[in-house]
Amino acid sequence: MGDPVRGSFQAIAERLDYPMFVVTATDGIERAGCLVGFATQCSIEPRRMLVCLSKQNRTAVVAREVDSLVVHVLRSGDRDLAVRFGELTGDEVDKFAGLDVTVAPGGAPVISGLDWFQGDVHARHDLGDHVGYVLDVEATVGAAIRARESPLGFQQVHGLEPGHPA
């Protein structure tokens, strides 16, 4: 017989529809990006965002020592980008190949056509199989060109085969 608390939590969590993001980073040598479903604003004043990266993926390796990350908001029509940044691994392919990419002031890749913001890394926290990055977004740069569009939610990407296990 399974753990009823774990089973209840799993049943609830599987039905939540978290917004999906692509987080990008560069260490000055390599650029990386991954699909992120664990992210939320965690402070109003100062403005801060918590972004959680799986320890198993290439982006977490690149992001270990960076000063800033770029967070891209995926919209309902961006499932193809979710597949690219969620199912492929930067260990094997350049996820940015063929995309129109610019560079944020902190150096991280910016995927053109998406809403995005850059956040300075305020703190890193070991959260189990993920590392939580608390980002200061007080003096951020970014773009909100598609802010009125519906976000791409977890339920729209549920079932993707991740490039790395969580």
Residue 54 is part of a domain; what is its CATH number?
A: 2.30.110.10
Within-domain flag for 76: yes
pLDDT in tens, 150-160: 998 888 787 77
Within-domain flag for 166: no
Within-domain flag for 162: no
Within-domain flag for 164: no
Q: How far is CA 30 from the centre of its chain?
A: 17
At residue 65's C-alpha, the angle toward residues 80 and 138, to 5°, is 75
pLDDT in tens, 103-122: 999 899 999 999 999 999 99
Within-domain flag for 133: yes
pTM of the predicted model as reported, rounded to 2 decimal places: 0.90
- The count of domains in the chain is 1
**Mean local confidence (pLDDT), 124-153:** 91
4 — pLDDT class (breaks 50, 70, 90):
low
Higher per-residue pLDDT: 2 or 117: 117
Q: How far is CA 110 from the centre of its chain?
A: 13
